[in-house]
């Protein structure tokens, strides 16, 4: 069976064909005007490599940044919001705070819909879902006529407390469907049925905003692929790390946001399973950003919300909140192209500004004048100027030197080497800090973790990052350059259904609990069944709990039996266990409550072949050597150069060394040794382990 994974990224579209256990991959430039063109080009390339015709492909799994980009670039449909009277400005007033407190000239991001596209109707539910003011059907009818006249292409409906009682939102949909035939309608009680109006309304609006665009693209894609002979089912990767049908994706396109990085996390999770690693930190570093994600027991951490389109240096709060089930990762502006400068304190700062592909880092010799991470890597000997990108693109150490000296060295009284060292240390430290905060928020101690590193720039920085985080072992898989697309092929069909229903444990109602979980399980299963008519469907149960009065819930995982037996004492025990893991101690004498209920239905994950153990034996003698800077000793050290293609399973070598391949270079510092595993991954171990 041939399966195709397709990841559309900012620069490249990666296409991976899996056939009889082997992988064929192609990287083609993303075609912004018609993204399907790049897919078709890649499709033919990999089919040619594998010597099959597109007709033989049985399944295509697709992830794309299209949804994310449409939100960032504000290229969505003409969309209206209908909301409760008195709350027209929820998405504009946000949290009423400033995300950067010391900037007197701060500019807040504009709301996704300007005020004239936000309409109100008289109605009101209370927090318990009881009607305080009934909906005025005639008023909605008049509004519908106005919306038709104005020519809206999409409508979002977000009413206060609709997560507790959706009936008014549904009545509005019924009226709009008649008055505005063909116009898609997104209800907040369906897109994101969770408490907190700003997040829910914004998510619903985002869904409505990109819905026509994504529906058109998905239609076009299916037709185009069929015309090329690939007339098989197409599925979409979603932000939660699973896959959904084309139809579900068209209904809830907001769930496609950040699906590419989610694929990367799935790729790392599959590797974790293959190597029997229960605690993994996935580290995906590309040209512009680095993504960091925790993977426990071969499963990426998930969350219920994240922020997209941060407008102010990736700063928390400067984007828009999207509350949907997502793989929980941190993304920071740290990639090969990230630019460095000296701030007012004489401190080196790196990113989030990036040199991009034009002009690119200074060493590309295309006019870049400011030093980037890649320039520092070059001057520290980590990159070979003559063999970058397989030798297709010679790098200029002179240009890198000039940029480092002018922008960092001279102002700080440092030489070029020290400036490059400082730059590399700062970017590694930025990533390490992001990883640490992420770990703390999840109550994890990274010392027990193994890193899995992929993406073009990751192998250069992985070992340094491990040193900072106290991580003993790091794996750099084969196919690291197209990791996300490979990840798509390993993702299960899945759909997570959530609902906000507030319940104190003191007023625990087992009948209601079984009812909630029953409905959620039915809803989630329906989506999965639509993708696969026969597969076994598993369900995971979670409740979000807290002490009464706290604002942040913690996710508590329950077994199916625990969930449906509905014994409040069992729920309490599970909560206290989880709370202790996170925050060291429970708080005595407090009431406990549940706020959100969740069921994730999915098909069984693909069986993973455990990587066979290898017997270590010395790698062949290095073909060459060069000087590479060692951060630990603060000096250059003579390092062996090995070609990855020349190494076989079991080959072991000792740092300082480099392992080179066309797309990237693995740095093995003096403190570590490298061993090639049976699946071709390279493991970096701390010496003396």
Partner 1 sequence: MAELSKVACQVMWNRLISIVEEQAQALVRTAFSTSVREAGDLSAGVYNAEGQMLAQAVTGTPGHVNAMADAVPHFIRRLGRDNILEGDAYITNDPWEGTGHLHDITVVTPSFHQGQLAGFFACTAHIVDIGGRGFGADANSVYEEGLYIPILKFFDKGVVDQTLIRIIRGNVREPDQVVGDVYALATCNEIGHRRLIDMMKEFHLTDLQGISDFILTHSREATLARIAALPRATATGQMQIDGYDREIDLCVTLTIESDRVLCDWAGTSGVDKKGINVPLVYTKAYACYALKCAIAPDIPNNAASLAPFEITAPENSIVNALHPAPVALRHVIGHMLPDTIYNALDQILPHTVPAEGAGCLCNFQVSLRPRSDAPAPLDARRAEVLMFNSGGSGARPSLDGMSATAFPSGVMTMPVEATEQVGPVIIWRKELRPDSGGAGQFRGGLGQYMEVGARDGHEFDIQAMFDRVNHPALGRHGGAPGAATTIGQDDGTAMKGKGKQFVPHGRKVMMAFPGGAGYGAPDLRDPALVQRDLALGYISKETARNVYGLTTLQIADAIAAAMNGDDI
Site for partner 1 in 83-112 (CB under 8 A): 85-90, 92-93, 95-98, 101-108
Q: What is the 3-state secondary structure (H, E, C) of 569-616?
A: HHHHHHHHHHHHHHHCCCCCCCCEEEEEEEEEEECCCCCCCCCCCCCC
Choice between 249 and 348, CB closer to partner 1: 348
Compute the distance between CA of residue 157 and CA of residue 146 in angstroms, rounded to an integer. Answer: 15
| Interaction residues for partner 1, span 155-194 (CB under 8 A) | 160-161
| Interaction residues for partner 1, span 244-283 (CB under 8 A) | none
Choice between 195 and 222, CB closer to partner 1: 195
Strands (E), 33-190: 57-64, 79-84, 118-121, 124-125, 131-133, 154-158, 185-187
- Are residues 84 and 159 in contact, defined by beta-carbon separation less than 8 angstroms? yes
- Find the helix or strand (DSSP H, E) in which 271 lies: helix 259-274
Two structure tokens written together for 688: 């003396």
Q: What is the 3-state secondary structure (H, E, C) of 176-196?
A: HHHHCCCCCEEEHHHHCCCCC
- In angstroms, what is the minimal distance from the CB of 204 to partner 1? 14
375 binds partner 1 (CB under 8 A): no
Among residues 312, 530, 547, 636, which is the contact residue for partner 1, using CB under 8 A? 547
**Which letter does DSSP use for residue 32 in this model?**
T
Compute the distance between CA of residue 65 and CA of residue 472 in angstroms, rounded to an integer. Answer: 34
301 binds partner 1 (CB under 8 A): no
Choice between 50 and 376, CB closer to partner 1: 376
Burial class (CB in 10 A: 0-12, 13-18, 19+), 292: buried
| Interaction residues for partner 1, span 22-81 (CB under 8 A) | 78, 80
Among residues 306, 314, 421, 488, which is the contact residue for partner 1, using CB under 8 A? 421
- In angstroms, what is the minimal distance from the CB of 643 to partner 1? 32
Q: Kindly list the distances between the CA atom of residue 100 and the CA atoms of 97, 103, 319, 520, in Å, as whole numbers in the listed order.
A: 9, 6, 12, 39
Cβ count within 10 A of residue 440: 12
Contact region with partner 1 (CB under 8 A), list: 146-154, 277-285, 530-538, 598-606: 146-154
- In angstroms, what is the minimal distance from the CB of 146 to partner 1? 8
Choice between 312 and 530, CB closer to partner 1: 312
- In angstroms, what is the minimal distance from the CB of 361 to partner 1? 21
- In angstroms, what is the minimal distance from the CB of 386 to partner 1? 29
- In angstroms, what is the minimal distance from the CB of 586 to partner 1? 9
Is the peptide bond preceding residue 359 cis, with omega within 30 degrees of 0?
Answer: yes
| Interaction residues for partner 1, span 625-654 (CB under 8 A) | 634
Choice between 508 and 527, CB closer to partner 1: 508
| Interaction residues for partner 1, span 486-505 (CB under 8 A) | 502
Choice between 107 and 615, CB closer to partner 1: 107
Residue 52 half-sphere exposure toward CB, CA atoms < 13 A: 21
CB burial of 556-585 (b: ≥16 within 10 Å; e: otherwise) equals: bebeeebbeebebeebeebbeebbeeeeee
Site string (345-364) toward partner 1, x via CB under 8 A:
xxxx----------------
436 binds partner 1 (CB under 8 A): yes
Contact region with partner 1 (CB under 8 A), list: 183-191, 277-285, 473-481, 579-587: 579-587
- In angstroms, what is the minimal distance from the CB of 550 to partner 1? 5
Choice between 52 and 505, CB closer to partner 1: 505
Among residues 358, 549, 612, 621, which is the contact residue for partner 1, using CB under 8 A? 549
Choice between 314 and 454, CB closer to partner 1: 314
| Interaction residues for partner 1, span 397-416 (CB under 8 A) | 414
Q: Kindly list the distances between the CA atom of residue 498 and the CA atoms of 77, 164, 190, 323, 540, in Å, as whole numbers in the listed order.
A: 27, 12, 10, 10, 12
| Interaction residues for partner 1, span 192-211 (CB under 8 A) | 195-198
Choice between 395 and 628, CB closer to partner 1: 628
Among residues 22, 358, 552, 569, which is the contact residue for partner 1, using CB under 8 A? 552
């Amino acid at each position: 069976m041939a399966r195709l994974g397709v990841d559309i990224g900012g620069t490249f579209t990666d296409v991976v064909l899996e056939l009889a256990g082997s992988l064929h991959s192609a990287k083609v430039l993303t075609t912004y005007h018609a993204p399907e063109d790049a897919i078709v080009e890649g499709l033919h390339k990999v089919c040619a490599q594998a010597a099959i015709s597109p007709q033989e492909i049985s399944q295509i799994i697709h992830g794309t940044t299209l949804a994310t980009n449409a939100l960032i670039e504000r290229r969505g449909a003409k969309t209206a919001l209908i909301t409760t009277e008195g709350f027209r400005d929820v998405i504009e007033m946000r949290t009423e705070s400033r995300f950067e407190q010391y900037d007197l000239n701060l500019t807040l991001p504009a709301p996704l819909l300007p005020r004239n596209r936000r309409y109100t109707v008289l109605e009101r539910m209370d927090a318990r879902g009881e009607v305080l003011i009934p909906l005025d059907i005639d008023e909605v009818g008049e509004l519908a006529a106005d919306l038709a006249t104005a020519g809206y292409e999409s409508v979002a409906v977000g009413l206060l407390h609709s997560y507790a009682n959706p009936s008014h939102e549904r009545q509005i949909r019924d009226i709009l469907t008649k008055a505005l035939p063909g116009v898609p309608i997104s209800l907040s009680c369906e897109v994101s049925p969770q408490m907190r109006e700003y997040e829910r309304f914004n998510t619903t609006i985002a869904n409505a905003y990109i819905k026509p665009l994504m529906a058109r693209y998905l239609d076009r894609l299916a037709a185009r692929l069929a015309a090329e002979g690939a007339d098989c089912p197409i599925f979409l990767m979603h932000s939660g790390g699973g896959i959904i049908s084309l139809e579900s994706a068209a209904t809830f396109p907001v769930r496609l946001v950040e699906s590419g990085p989610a694929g990367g996390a799935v790729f790392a999770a599959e590797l974790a399973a293959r190597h029997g690693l229960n605690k993994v930190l996935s580290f995906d570093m590309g040209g512009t950003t680095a993504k960091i994600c925790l993977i426990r027991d071969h499963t990426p951490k998930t969350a219920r919300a994240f922020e997209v389109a941060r407008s102010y240096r990736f700063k928390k709060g400067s984007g828009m909140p999207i509350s949907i089930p997502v793989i929980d990762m941190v993304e920071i502006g740290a990639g090969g192209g990230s630019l460095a400068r000296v701030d007012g304190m004489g401190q080196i700062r790196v990113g989030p500004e990036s040199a991009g592909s034009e002009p690119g880092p200074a060493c590309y010799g295309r006019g870049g004048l400011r030093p980037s991470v890649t320039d520092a890597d070059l001057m520290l000997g980590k990159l070979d100027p003559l063999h970058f990108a397989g030798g297709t693109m010679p790098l200029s150490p002179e240009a890198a030197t000039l940029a480092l000296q002018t922008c960092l060295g001279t102002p700080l009284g440092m030489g070029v080497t020290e400036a490059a060292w400082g730059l590399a240390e700062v970017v590694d430290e930025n990533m390490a800090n992001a990883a640490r905060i992420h770990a703390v928020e999840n109550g994890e101690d990274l010392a027990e973790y193994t890193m899995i590193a992929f993406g073009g720039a990751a192998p250069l920085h992985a070992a340094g990052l491990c040193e900072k985080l106290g991580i003993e072992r790091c794996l750099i898989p084969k196919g690291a350059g197209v990791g996300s697309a490979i990840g798509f092929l390993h993702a299960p069909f899945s759909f997570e259904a959530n609902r906000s229903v507030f319940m104190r444990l003191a007023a625990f109602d087992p009948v209601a609990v079984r009812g909630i979980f029953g409905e959620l399980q039915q809803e989630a299963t329906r989506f999965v069944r639509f993708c696969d008519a026969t597969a076994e469907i598993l369900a995971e149960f979670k409740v979000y709990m807290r002490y009464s009065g706290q604002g942040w819930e913690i996710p508590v995982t329950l077994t199916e039996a625990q969930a449906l037996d509905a014994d409040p004492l069992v729920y309490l025990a599970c909560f206290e266990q989880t709370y202790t893991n996170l925050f060291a101690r429970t708080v005595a004498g407090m009431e406990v409550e549940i706020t959100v209920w969740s069921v994730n239905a999915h098909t069984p994950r693909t069986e993973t072949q455990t990587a066979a153990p290898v017997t270590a034996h010395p790698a062949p003698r290095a073909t060459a050597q060069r000087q590479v800077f060692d951060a630990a000793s603060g000096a250059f050290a003579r390092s062996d150069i090995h070609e990855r293609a020349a190494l076989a399973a079991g080959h072991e070598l000792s740092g300082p060394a480099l392992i080179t391949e066309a797309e990237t270079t693995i740095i093995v510092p003096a403190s570590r040794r490298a061993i090639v595993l049976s699946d071709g991954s390279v493991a970096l171990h701390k010496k003396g382990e």
